[in-house]
Each structure stands twice: as structure tokens, then as C-alpha cells.
Amino acid sequence: MVETNDIELSAAEAEQYDRQIRLWGLESQKRLRAAKVLIIGIAGLGAEIAKNVILSGVKSVCLLDNEKLKEVDRYSQFLAPPDKIGENRAEVSLTRAKALNPMVDITAETKSVDNLPDSFFTEFDIVCATGLKQEQLERINNACRDSNKKFLCGDVWGMFGYMFADLVDHEYSEEIVQHKAQKRGPDDTEKTAVETFSITVKRRAIYVPLQNALSVDWMKPEMRSRLRRGDPSYFVMKILMRFKDEYNRDPDAAKRKEDTAILLRMRDELVKELSLPAGFIVDALLQDVFGTMAGAAAVIGGVIGQEVVKAVSQREPPHNNMFFFNPVKCVGFVELYGQ
């Protein structure tokens, strides 16, 4: 949980954050400015998350990435200057990240997550991981969980994307708008008016770790019934995660044809394995999964950025526990898995 400090905002902070303080209040802004955030994977999605989190006015952001800037990153990674291809993605993003908001302390870390101890991750109040394999995500999630630190992860493949959240045991306040008809004075124009006012309630949300959400038993009747009204996005994510595990990379734009064939084969296997309805996972969902499209990174990065703000400020209900963006239908939805 983020500790607030009692130091008042400076005039400069009040001025710069005016429009958001008017939305989420001063208390939220104070919590934000005390929060330490780690962002893992500074490709297109990581850059979007970093931008949103830095603009919101947190205390510090660490950009962690051991990979080099690639040609394909130029479609979505706006923090890295395009002439820095071949250099470390976190390091080359530092200058522009700092320029977004000089009031935030921003650092870069170039080690692989596999070479960092659990204690590295738990230094932060919240971790956002992108571009990792399932087992890496689960390891960091569990480390955070053991220290009661919040964990988010997500990825974008082409136009498709997801987010997962484990806020452990999360307390938050929620503003609920209520309406009340009110008698007015003898104004001839306004006999009665509906007055809206809001009350703040305290709530609590319990989360499950990533491994639970990813190991759902689809043979159970209650999960089967979800399929009927469901969206195939969860399975698209599973297929793409399997691809990453099996080939140790994401689908490659340069091998568009071969990789699409592999993905469709993996789709067919999954359909068989889980006895999913035929035609449930349409081909179109697996055909635009190359690189990162800027529009999709902005969408998923926007959702994850907002979840960081909600988690840190403990205001408004955070998503529990998975969000999917299905680009074929242009729908974005939240579902709870693994509970």
C-alpha cells in the first residue's frame, strides 16, 4: 500500500495537475506522488504505460528492459529516438521519458528480470510487466504477492491486447452518485429539480495470482456456460502465450505467412483440447498479431495506466482481474478468471 505524506502540493504541482485533481481529488494526487512504479519491457506498450504513469505525477518510475531497440519497435515505441536501433531500449527511452514530467524521478535498468532477485521487484509499490514469458510473469507476481505489492501485466500483439491485475487485498473508496428529487422555492420555472450528490463508500477487492487465472479448468460446468456468451479473447491470449513459450519469441512480421500458419494450427489444437465450439476463435483474430500497432498500444497502455492510478490512489473500483481488447469487434471488457 502506498503511504501518503502530509506535505502539501507545491504551487507548480497544483497548476500542472489541476485538471486531474478536479477529477480524482487532492488525496489521490498525494498518494500518486508517493508511489514508486516499475515498468518492465519498454517496447510500444511499455512506452505507453510509462507516458501515462509519468504524466499522472507519481514519485518515481524505473524503466527495466534488457533488450535492444528493434526496427519493429518504430511502429509504437515513441520514447526511443528512431536512430537508436540496436541500443538498450530502457536507456534510450530515458531522455524523452524525463521530458514528459520533470517532477518525476526516472531511472533505467538494463538487466534481465532473470538476473534480478525478488527483492528488486518488491522495492516498488507497483510493478507493470510487459513482453515476458508466462513463467517470468508468475515468478514476479508471486514475489510481489508475498510482499503485498501490487502487480499488473499485459501485452499487445498487433491489434490485440490483454491486461491482468493482482492487487492482492485491495481497499479503495468509491464515489457513488445518487439522485434525489428536491422541492424548490416558488420559482415558476423550476418546480422540482433532481439533485445529484455523491457519497463515498469504502470497499475491498480480493485478487488471485496470475497462475490461477491462466490455469482455468474449462471442463467445469460453470466455465462451460461462460463460453456460450463469451468472447474468445482469453484463448487468443493463451495461444499467443504458448507461441512465445514454444518459440521463445513473439510472432514475427518478417515470417508473417509461416507464423500465421503456426498460430492457426495452435488454435486448432486448443479448440480440440478444450472442446471449444468450432469457429469460436475466428481466423481474423490471429492474423493481425504482428509487432505492436500504435493504436492498440495506446488503448491497452491507457487501460493499464489508469489501473496504476486507481491502484495507487485507492480510489474507484479497479478491474478484477483480466481486461481484453478484441479488435475485430472493437470491444474492451473485464472478466474474472481463476477464482
Partner 1 sequence: MMLNKMPARAAGVFDEKMTEAIANSRVLVVGAGGIGCEILKNLVLTGFPSIHIIDLDTIDVSNLNRQFLFHKEHVGYSKSQVARISALSFNPDVEILAFHDSIISTDYGVSYFKQFKVVLNALDNRVARNHVNRMCLAANVPLIETGTAGYAGQVELIQKGLTQCYECQPKAPQKTFPGCTIRNTPSEPIHCIVWAKHLFNQLFGEEDPDQDVSPDTADPEAAGEAGASALSSEGTTSGNVERKSTRAWAAETNYDPEKLFTKLFGDDIRYLLSMENLWKKRKPPTPLEWNNLPGKDSPPEQHTGLPDQRVWSIYECAQVFSTSCTSLQKDLRGRTEGDHLVWDKDEKHAMDFVTACANIRAHIFNIPVKSRFEIKSMAGNIIPAIATANAIVAGLAVLRAQAILRGDINSCTSVYLRPKVNHRGQLFVPEKTLTPPNPKCYVCAPKPEVAVACNLKQLTLKDLNAAFKDGLNMQAPDATIEGKGIVVLSSEPGETDHNNDKTLNEIGLSDGSALLVDDFLQNYEVRVRLQQEDEEKMWRIVPDADKPMPAPRPANGANGSEPKPGPSTSRDHDSDSDLEIIDEDDDEPAVKPPKRRRTEMNSDEVVELC
Query: Does 51 interact with partner 1 (rule: CB under 8 A)?
Result: yes
Contact pick of 8, 118, 123, 135 for partner 1 (by CB under 8 A): 8
Instruction: Output Rg (C-alpha) for the chain, integer angstroms.
Output: 22
Strands 169-183 and 160-166, sheet pairing: unpaired
Query: Does 75 interact with partner 1 (rule: CB under 8 A)?
Result: yes
Packed helices 233-247 and 256-273: angle between N→C axes, nearest 10 degrees: 120
Query: Which parts of 183-202 interact with partner 1 (CB under 8 A)?
Result: 184-189
Dihedral class, residue 139 (left if φ above 0, else alpha if ψ from -120 to 50, else beta) = alpha
Query: With respect to partner 1, which residue has the nearer C-beta, 40 or 54?
Result: 54
- Asked whether the beta carbons of 251 and 243 are under 8 A apart, the reply is yes
Query: Does 126 interact with partner 1 (rule: CB under 8 A)?
Result: no
Query: Which parts of 259-318 interact with partner 1 (CB under 8 A)?
Result: 287-288, 290-291, 293-299, 301-303, 305-306, 309, 316-317
CA atoms of 300 and 139, how far apart (whole Å):
23
- Asked whether the beta carbons of 5 and 13 are under 8 A apart, the reply is no
Query: Which parts of 135-164 interact with partner 1 (CB under 8 A)?
Result: 158-159
Query: With respect to partner 1, which residue has the nearer C-beta, 102 or 277?
Result: 102
Contact pick of 19, 180, 183, 204 for partner 1 (by CB under 8 A): 19
CA atoms of 283 and 279, how far apart (whole Å):
8
Helix (H, G, I), strand (E, B) or coil at 307: helix
Question: Which span (109-117, 142-150, 218-226, 328-336) binds partner 1, by CB under 8 A?
Answer: 328-336
Query: Does 22 interact with partner 1 (rule: CB under 8 A)?
Result: yes
Query: Does 64 interact with partner 1 (rule: CB under 8 A)?
Result: no
- Asked whether the beta carbons of 93 and 80 are under 8 A apart, the reply is yes
- Asked whether the beta carbons of 56 and 311 are under 8 A apart, the reply is no
Query: Which parts of 214-233 interact with partner 1 (CB under 8 A)?
Result: none
Contact pick of 18, 171, 245, 268 for partner 1 (by CB under 8 A): 18
CA atoms of 124 and 147, how far apart (whole Å):
10
Query: Does 23 interact with partner 1 (rule: CB under 8 A)?
Result: yes
Question: Which span (108-116, 180-188, 209-217, 219-227) binds partner 1, by CB under 8 A?
Answer: 180-188
Query: With respect to partner 1, which residue has the nearer C-beta, 41 or 318?
Result: 318
- Asked whether the beta carbons of 169 and 206 are under 8 A apart, the reply is yes
Query: With respect to partner 1, which residue has the nearer C-beta, 75 or 218?
Result: 75
Query: Does 204 interact with partner 1 (rule: CB under 8 A)?
Result: no
DSSP state for residue 339 in the 8-state scheme: -
- Asked whether the beta carbons of 85 and 62 are under 8 A apart, the reply is no
Q: Least CB distance from residue 298 to partner 1, whole Å? A: 3
Contact pick of 3, 15, 222, 273 for partner 1 (by CB under 8 A): 15
